[in-house]
Amino acid sequence: MSTAPTTLTDASSPSDAPPPSRKAPLRALVLRLHFYAGVLVAPFLLIAALTGFLYAASFQAEKIVYAHELTVPVGDGKLPLSEQVAAARKAHPEGAVSAVRPSPEADATTRVLLSGVPGVDEDRTLAVFVDPYTGKVRGALEQYGSSGALPLRTWIDGLHANLQLGESGRLYSEFAASWLWVIAGGGLVLWFGRRRAQRKVRGVSGRRRTLGLHGTVGVWAAAGFIFLSATGLTWSTYAGANIDVLRTSLGQATPSVSAAAGGEHAGHGDAPGAGEQTGGGVVGIDEILAAARAKGLGDPVEIVPPADASSAYVVKQVQRSWPEKQDSVSVDPATGRVTDELRFADYPFLAKLTRWGIDAHTGLLFGLVNQIVLMALALSLVLLILWGYRMWWQRGRASAFGRPVPRGSWQQIPAQILVPLMAAVAVLGYFVPLLGIPLAVFVAVDVVLGEIAYRRGKRSYGARVVGPGESG
C-alpha cells in the first residue's frame, strides 16, 4: 500500500498531469487494484497485524508467566532421565508418554509430554515439568505444536491463525496472506514508477503528507510483507495444500527418519504400546539418549517412544533458532542400536527453505531480534492501513470508493503484456484460490459496472483526473 507523493489535478488544468506513457494503462491498472484491494482487504490485514504483534511478543511473555515451570535453581548433578520420567508419571499417571524433552540448559526443567489425558484436546499434550536435579514436579501445562507453545502462546496463536474459530476461521488469515503480497508489490510498482515526482514530507500538510508517510514506510516494509505473505501461505488450508503437492511432485518434500526398529530383534522384546517404554524395556531411555548423543545429537532434543512392538525410538533435535538443529535418529529399543539417521543438511533445498521461512515467520529463527522485527512489521502494517484510509477520507469521495482511476484500464494494456499477465494470474489463482477467486469476482463486477455506466452514457470519472502514481 505504498505510493509516492504526487500532485492532484482536475480537468481545468490538464497541463499539470503527467505526460502520457505507454506504461500508463498498466500503472493505472496497478493503482486500481492496489486501492480496491487495500480498502477491502485492509480489515483482515489489520486483524492479522494486531494478533501477529501479540504473537511475536508472546515468546518473551511466556518466559515470565511460566518462569516457575520453565526454570529451576542449578544443582550439582542431574538425575538419570528415567528417574525424571518416573517422577512425572507418579504425579500424573493419566494418559501415556508421547515424548520427553530432557533439560536443554543448566537452569531448565525437563518436559515429559503426555497424550490421551482426559480434558486435554487431542491435538495437544500435557507437559509435566520436572526438576532434573531433584525430580520434583514443578507443574503441568497444556502444550501445543512442535515449538512447545504453552497456554498463553497457544491462545494467541489460535487468535492470529483462525480467530479462535477453528478450521473455518483459517480462511481469514489465508485471505489476508493471499493479498498482502499483491498490495505490497503494487505499492512498490507505484512508488518507483513515480520516483522522480517524490517530494519531501517535511513542509507539506494534509493528504500529501499522509501520502508521503504511507509511501515511505510502505517501501521500507514491503520486502517484509512479501516474505510474511509467502511463508504464511505455506501452511494455509488451500494454498498450503497446493504447495505441499508441488513440493512432493518435485521431490522436495520434508523427509522423516524411519521409525521401524529393524534388525533381527524387530517385533520382539517387551516393547509395549505407545509411550510407556521409557525405562522398563530391554534398553532404557537413558541408553537411548546416549546412543543419540553418540551420533552427535546435542540439546535440545525430543525422545519419542516406540508406537508399537515393531517400532523404534525416534530422537530428534528440536532447535529451530539459527543455526537450525533438526537431525534425527531411530534407535532399536531391544538393542540400543541406531537403525536410521537423517541429517538436516541432507534435506532437499525447498524443505530447508520452508523450515527456515516458517521459523522466521513465527519469530523462532533469530530469537529476540526476529521477534522485534516482526513486531515492527506489524506496527508498520497497522500504520499503513490507517494512513490509507485517512488518504481516502482526505481526498473527498466522489462515490463509495472515490474512483481513483477509470474502469477499463486493463483494455488499454498492450496484448504482449496483457496475455502473459492474465496467464500468470490464472496460474496464481489456481494455486492461491483465495487470491484468484476474489480477483475474478472483482474483474467481473468491474466489467459489468463499466458496461452499465457506458450504456447509460456516463463517464466513470467526472471532472477529476488523478495521476497514475497516486493512491486511492
As a whole number of angstroms, the distance between CA 410 and CA 426 comes to 15
pLDDT at 355 (0 to 100)? 96
3-state helix, strand, coil in the chain (%, to 5): 50, 10, 35
Q: Kindly state whether residue 470 falls inside one of the protein's structural domains.
A: no
Q: Cell 522398563, residue? A: 280
Residues 231 and 380 in one domain: yes
- Find, among 1, 31, 41, 10, the residue nearest to 470 by Cα: 31
For residue 283, give every residue at least 6 positions away whose Cβ sits within 8 Å of its Cβ, in sequence order, or none.
Answer: 331, 332, 333, 334, 335, 336
Residues 142 and 176 in one domain: no
Residues 72 and 52 in one domain: no
- Map residue 329 onto helix, strand or coil: strand
Residues 174 and 36 in one domain: yes
pLDDT at 469 (0 to 100)? 41
Say how many domains are in the chain: 3
- The answer to whether 303 and 313 are in contact (CB under 8 A) is yes
Q: Where are the alpha helices (DSSP H) in 19-169?
A: 24-65, 67-70, 81-91, 151-162
Q: Which of the listed residues 115, 149, 183 is the one where a domain comes to its end?
A: 149
Residues 71 and 51 in one domain: no
Residues 48 and 97 in one domain: no
Q: Kindly state whether residue 198 falls inside one of the protein's structural domains.
A: yes
- Find, among 343, 339, 340, 260, the residue nearest to 296 by Cα: 343
Q: Which residues, given as ranges, of the chain have pLDDT below 70? A: 1-25, 194-205, 262-281, 396-412, 450, 454, 457-472
Q: Kindly state whether residue 422 falls inside one of the protein's structural domains.
A: yes
pLDDT at 9 (0 to 100)? 35
pLDDT at 384 (0 to 100)? 96
Q: Cell 537452569, residue? A: 107
Phi, psi of 142 (to 5 degrees): -70, 140
Residues 171 and 314 in one domain: no
For residue 67, give every residue at least 6 positions away whose Cβ sits within 8 Å of its Cβ, in sequence order, or none.
Answer: none
Residues 121 and 178 in one domain: no
Q: Which of the listed residues 121, 149, 177 is the one where a domain comes to its end?
A: 149
pLDDT at 76 (0 to 100)? 93
- Find, among 121, 61, 66, the residue nearest to 95 by Cα: 121
pLDDT at 439 (0 to 100)? 86
- Find, among 264, 261, 313, the residue nearest to 285 by Cα: 313
DSSP 381-446: HHHHHHHHHHHHHHH--SSTT---S-TTGGGGS-HHHHHHHHHHHHHHHHHSHHHHHHHHHHHHHH
Cβ neighbourhood burial of 336 (10 Å; 0-12, 13-18, 19+): middle
pLDDT at 410 (0 to 100)? 63
Q: Kindly state whether residue 72 falls inside one of the protein's structural domains.
A: yes
Q: Kindly state whether residue 262 falls inside one of the protein's structural domains.
A: no
Residues 238 and 192 in one domain: yes
Q: Kindly state whether residue 71 falls inside one of the protein's structural domains.
A: yes
pLDDT at 411 (0 to 100)? 65
CATH number of the domain to which 100 belongs: 3.10.450
- For 300, the domain range is 267-346
pLDDT at 357 (0 to 100)? 96
Residues 385 and 434 in one domain: yes
Residues 181 and 100 in one domain: no
pLDDT at 198 (0 to 100)? 52
Q: Kindly state whether residue 353 falls inside one of the protein's structural domains.
A: no
Residues 208 and 339 in one domain: no
pLDDT at 175 (0 to 100)? 95
199-211: pLDDT as tens digits: 444 445 677 888 8
Q: Which of the listed residues 149, 173, 195 is the one where a domain comes to its end?
A: 149
As a whole number of angstroms, the distance between CA 344 and CA 326 comes to 5
As a whole number of angstroms, the distance between CA 85 and CA 2 comes to 55
Q: Kindly state whether residue 363 falls inside one of the protein's structural domains.
A: no
